[in-house]
Copies of this chain bind each other. A is one copy, B any other.
């Protein structure tokens, strides 16, 4: 698999949905940074399911235990390992699914690649693996803290409802992370309608990052947008990424799209804070297309392991809309990419010789 990532700030994640637990090792963290279990837990709590009827009913405390790399509230420079044990795995829910591929899930491709039948809860392909990402992201935030970097992800679309105004503070308290206070109820209705129909619904998450200094990102392959985009597309359920104005630029002319400068700085931010793959100190703007949760209770056609056509109905505990779950994961992945780019920039910064 490819469960390791990063160049200076490197992480190694592990864990299956119904295995003993999940975890992550974070390597390359400078020594002397303030970090404690509460900081990490606070981020994990923002990701936790079970907080509302709009999310999965699976109840996991998701309590982090830091096994190494921190002493006396400070990082030691050594790898930081963090784990949590699975408490509320109900593999029984999956027993009758083990012989057939759930549509829209990785069951089929894992079977093709690894030769293993569908694992309870999706095994490694479960959204539970994002626990590791968010825990690591908390460490990345600690690295970025001295720079004043702030990350906020929120839901700007659910089904047919698209936000018209953005209120990140409102979003951070809303169970769907809905960004538009006046349309939040309509978004909730979209989710409830889908759930009532034994169905699910997609959406769009926007991510805005402020406080990033100019100069992060490494052309040509490790451009900041390339790395952010790749990291965000690695989150299950993400089917598209836009940087800045994204697909809207296709219909535009250069004279309207270029961000010109005046005495006050950039006069616009169509590029989303990244020029030539390097941050320009403007807010970084990204948007993610989120597919509707593939687990639905309506009957669907699929195949069993032997290749025979069969029907499947998926009952269990699922989020009817992934947006509020993906938002904190997107923040975490962005924090990891930025912290890595920042450490790399410290290494490669112009020398005075």
Contact = CB atoms under 8 A, between A and B. Distances in A.
A199 interface: yes
Contacts of A203: 250
A169 interface: no
Nearest to A101: B261
23 contacts: A1-B219, A14-B78, A15-B81, A19-B67, A21-B67, A23-B67, A28-B347, A31-B113, A31-B351, A33-B351, A113-B217, A125-B219, A146-B351, A194-B254, A234-B277, A239-B243, A239-B249, A240-B240, A240-B242, A241-B241, A255-B296, A258-B300, A261-B301
A116 B69 CA distance: 12
Contact of A5 (B221, B236, B277, B351): B221
A197 B222 CA distance: 35
A53 interface: no
A55 interface: no
Interface stretch (A42-50, A56-64, A178-186, A285-293): A285-293
Contact of A251 (B160, B267, B350): B160
A278 interface: yes
A12, A22, A104: residue with the most chain B Cβ atoms closer than 10 Å: A12
Contact of A254 (B68, B104, B302): B104
